[in-house]
Chain A
Amino acid sequence: MTWRLPVIVWQLLFFVGPLLFMIAMSFFLVKNYRMVEAFEMTSWIKMFGKGYFWDSYFFTLALAAWATIVATCVAFPAAFGLAFKVSDGTRRWIIFLLIIPFFTSYLVRTFSWYVILAESGVINNILGYIGLGPYTMLNTRFGTMVGYMTLTLPLVIILQTLSMANVDKNLIEAAQNLGAGRFQVICKVIIPSAKVGLIIGAVFCFILSFGDFVAPYYLGGSKPPTLSILIIDTTKSGQQWPRAAVVAVMMTTTLMIVAFTAIKLAYSKKT
């Protein structure tokens, strides 16, 4: 049992403790830009009564869901190729290359998209040579999605690759020997066998996108704001930390529901 102690202490210190404090903070009041301890529902009533909070909530939810679908679909062929079509050495190298973007700041990587996506940027310049464009890509949902992919795609590819690489090759051969086509092998053998990794990849993508501030602000033009931007707005103006805590509690609750549901789905017996 003692080996569990560090994990429990870590969870208490860095997750449960701050979470409880955040929940408590959502009942505090702000007076003269200073937080005052209290137990009032004011911030909850205020935020739940505001249309813009719900607009931001559902917008963020939809955006993160889209990012998850896009990342999962884009990552799948890449991960499939890495798991089944290349040698172990090549796979290791490519996984290493996928890790390299994490060596630099996400903010810096996001800003570098300015040069590429701007109307006077690289893509529009290339399209200009063939008489197309310019297209507006910055400060759009497309821009936000590019940011989300920058953040999540390498991770999703890695998680999918690792799960697919562990699929029992005998099952694939058996399916092929029994006359299954390529599509059937993917749908009936590979996806069910790699289900846990595929779902965990999707969950990570959802969690990271749902809470991301950088992509929707700098590439999406904060138009409309996501919940993370709403937190910044709420704290920046009027120092309404309790209201920001309400938003944060709602975000955490949503993420917990999504994560628990997904994990339940991943480990369910039915395939």
Chain B
Amino acid sequence: MIKKNRLSRRDFIKTSTVVTGALAMPMILTANKARAQAAEINMLAWYGHGEPDIVEEFEAQNNVKFNAKYYAGGDNMLGLIAQSPPGTYDIILSDGEFVQQLNAANYIEQLNPDDYPFDDFMYHDFTQFPGHWKDGKLYSTMVRYGHLGVSYNKNAVTAEQAQSYQCFWEPQLTGKVGHFDWHLPSLGMMSLYNGNNNPSPFDIDGGAWGGVQETTMSLRPQVGGFFDYGGTFSSLKNGEMLAMCGIGDWITGVLEKDGAPVASVVPKEGGIQWTESYCIGKGSQHAEIVNKFIQYMLTPAGQVRSAQMAAYPGFCVTNSGVEALRATNMAEAERTGQIEGATNNPITLIKEGRIHYRDIPHQQTLEDWNDFWSEYKNA
């Protein structure tokens, strides 16, 4: 009798399961082991800061893993922290103007100034940024910044027109002016347009605030929409919006690299600076490694990564960072004016007094500005 050596369906499934399991086991074990070893760093930041193009090298070198939670707008950030237990976020990327509020609410740890290359910073203000120090103690360090002004489609607005916020009122832009949906930058620009540049577009009395509201309302017929981060990108890219109020190169820079005919300039009335600073979250279990990451972001390599960040570019804050950017990507350094003698050199613009740091309102509450923004959107 010949015994048939046939594999039944049940045997086949059983055998293949065992073989697959055996083959997969080393990978599962390795993955689990790796996962077990990597310290998890919880980051709260604007979009892009926890992405591989920024953190992968540091993760690999230090065997850590960043878990990023993204926000849009400083008050959004404060709310997220307020509603989380202490120690939830190890590292917080804050808008510069909100650091004082983080500190006042005791959400961040004190830093050691000796840990950071302040001697290498490009501008004195950056080392003493408002709100980053309190009673001689450091709580946050600036890592990048950018300028906001007139962002426009080059096929619809000339470079000359873009030299003033007045261009937003041009007849050919009716229904084609977009707003980044956050009140601070847009209202700051309207304030600058009204001439409120001394001491700051955000430090204005009641009369000037009334003027800002009036000017802003007069822009409403021109407005085609209010957009979040993604909507701002797509509406500028597909030509739905031909000019955008409240943004700058952080959006158009990405689109420009993608071939879109868009640009941003600091107009004659002045521009607004966004500033991003790192803080260590209060009660973080990983304060040491987080501090190392902040130091890394201030190294030339870290600054180059930041300057070329895929989500949105930013200027370098250190001299060695700018030099490294020029050596690595001269085209980007030229495009952003980070070369000697450029008319749009960010430090030159600051020194000329054309740049004002974005701030929270001094003589009104954030609620006043936000309420007006809601009224404006409904008008």
Contact = CB atoms under 8 A, between A and B. Distances in A.
A236 B231 contact: no
Interface of B: 72-73, 75-76, 78-79, 81-83, 105, 175, 178, 181-183, 223-228, 231, 234-235, 238-240, 366-367, 370-371, 373-375, 377-379
B231 A218 contact: yes
Interface stretch (A61-69, A93-101, A148-156, A220-228): A220-228
Contacts of B377: 52, 222-225, 233
A9 B76 CA distance: 35
A89 interface: no
Contact of B83 (A34, A55, A139): A34
Contacts of A136: 175, 224, 240
A52 B234 CA distance: 28
Nearest to A31: B82
Given A223-B223, A223-B226, A237-B373, 13 more contacts: A33-B75, A33-B81, A35-B83, A118-B238, A136-B224, A139-B224, A217-B231, A223-B224, A223-B225, A230-B374, A236-B72, A236-B79, A239-B82
25 contacts: A33-B81, A34-B82, A51-B375, A51-B378, A55-B378, A118-B239, A118-B240, A119-B238, A119-B240, A120-B238, A136-B175, A136-B224, A139-B240, A217-B228, A222-B227, A224-B377, A224-B379, A230-B374, A233-B374, A237-B366, A237-B373, A238-B75, A238-B79, A239-B75, A239-B82
B75 A221 contact: no
Q: Main SS of chain A's interface residues?
A: loop
B168 to A, nearest CB: 16
Contacts of B231: 217-218, 221
A139 B225 contact: yes
A56 B78 CA distance: 27
B212 to A, nearest CB: 17
Contacts of A59: 378
A114 B238 contact: yes
A35 B83 CA distance: 8
* A-B pairs, 10 with minimum CB distance: A221-B225, A239-B79, A139-B225, A33-B82, A52-B378, A222-B226, A34-B82, A118-B238, A55-B378, A237-B370
B366 to A, nearest CB: 6
Contact of A121 (B79, B178, B238, B367): B238
Nearest to B78: A33
B279 to A, nearest CB: 16
Contact of A50 (B81, B181, B182, B374): B374
A138 interface: yes
Contacts of B235: 138-139, 221
Nearest to B379: A224
A33 B240 contact: no
B75 A138 contact: no
Specify which of A55, A119, A121, A222 lies most central, judged by the most chain B CB atoms within 10 Å of its CB: A222
A211 B231 CA distance: 20
A87 interface: no
Interface of A: 32-35, 50-52, 55-56, 59, 114, 118-121, 136, 138-139, 217-218, 220-225, 230, 233, 235-239
Given A118-B239, A222-B181, A225-B377, A238 B367 contact: yes
Contacts of A237: 73, 75-76, 182-183, 366, 370, 373
A74 B79 CA distance: 44
Given A118-B239, A221-B224, A32 B374 contact: no
A120 B153 CA distance: 14
A139 B374 CA distance: 18
Contacts of B224: 136, 139, 221, 223
Contacts of B373: 233, 237
Contact of A238 (B72, B238, B370, B379): B370
Contact of B227 (A120, A221, A239): A221
Nearest to B183: A237
B378 A236 contact: no
A138 B223 CA distance: 13
A17 to B, nearest CB: 20
Contact of A56 (B239, B366, B371, B378): B378
B105 A32 contact: yes
A118 B182 CA distance: 24
B217 to A, nearest CB: 13
A248 B122 CA distance: 49
Contacts of A35: 83
Specify which of A52, A223, A224, A237 lies most central, judged by the most chain B CB atoms within 10 Å of its CB: A237
A230 B378 CA distance: 10
A221 B238 CA distance: 14
B342 to A, nearest CB: 33
Contacts of B78: 33, 239
A71 to B, nearest CB: 24
Nearest to B374: A52
A112 B62 CA distance: 41
A233 to B, nearest CB: 6
Contacts of B234: 114
A225 to B, nearest CB: 5
A238 B366 contact: yes
B238 to A, nearest CB: 4
B66 to A, nearest CB: 24
Nearest to B75: A237
A141 to B, nearest CB: 12
A52 B378 CA distance: 6
A85 B235 CA distance: 43
Given A32-B105, A52-B378, A55-B378, A236 B238 contact: no
Contact of A222 (B79, B81, B183, B225): B225
Specify which of B72, B182, B225, B234 lies most central, judged by the most chain A CB atoms within 10 Å of its CB: B225
Contacts of B75: 33, 236-239
